[in-house]
């Protein structure tokens, strides 16, 4: 499955880090959305919107290369959280305890900030 170009500014290729993030986490996000919505088609639409929102909020020339330099799980945590998922949904998607998400998210944000400098 590929991320649709519709609604995305510019028709150029996706940054490699975002493409890896999308491919690695798309099925999990769809699974969460399907459990909430009960409809596969709607769940796929919601998942694509989650990733599109993240992509628009974090332009390729800003932090996409940063996400490629931090651990993949940290990048996934950031993408899922800043796309609007709750701690419980993130925990389910990444197969971690919900009580650990806050700590893992802080560590991911710290890693992101360090790479931004």
pTM of the full structure: 0.55
98 domain-assigned: yes
117 residues of the chain, pLDDT tens digit each: 445 444 444 445 667 777 887 888 888 888 888 887 889 999 899 888 888 887 777 665 554 777 778 888 898 888 888 878 899 988 888 889 999 999 999 999 999 989 888
Helices (H), 4-97: 16-37, 40-57, 65-69, 72-81, 87-94
Q: In which domain, by residue range, is 56 found?
A: 16-116
Of 50, 57, 5, nearest in space to 29 by CA: 50
CB 61 within 8 A of CB 18: no
69 domain-assigned: yes
10 domain-assigned: no
5 domain-assigned: no
Interacting residues of 4 by C-beta distance below 8 A, sequence separation 6+: 48
Give the pLDDT confidence score for residue 109 in this predicted structure.
93
3 domain-assigned: no
83 domain-assigned: yes
Domain count, the chain: 1
């Amino acid at each position: 499955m590929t991320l649709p170009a519709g609604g995305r500014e510019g028709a150029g290729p996706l940054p490699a880090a975002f493409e890896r993030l999308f491919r690695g986490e798309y099925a999990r996000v769809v699974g969460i959305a399907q459990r909430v919505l009960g409809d596969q088609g709607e769940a796929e639409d919601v998942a694509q919107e989650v990733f599109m929102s993240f992509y628009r909020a974090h332009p390729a020339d800003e932090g996409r290369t940063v996400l490629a330099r931090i651990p993949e799980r940290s990048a996934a945590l950031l993408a899922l959280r800043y796309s609007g998922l709750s701690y419980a949904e993130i925990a389910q998607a990444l197969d971690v305890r919900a009580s650990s998400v806050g700590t893992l998210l802080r560590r991911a944000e710290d890693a992101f900030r360090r790479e931004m400098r």
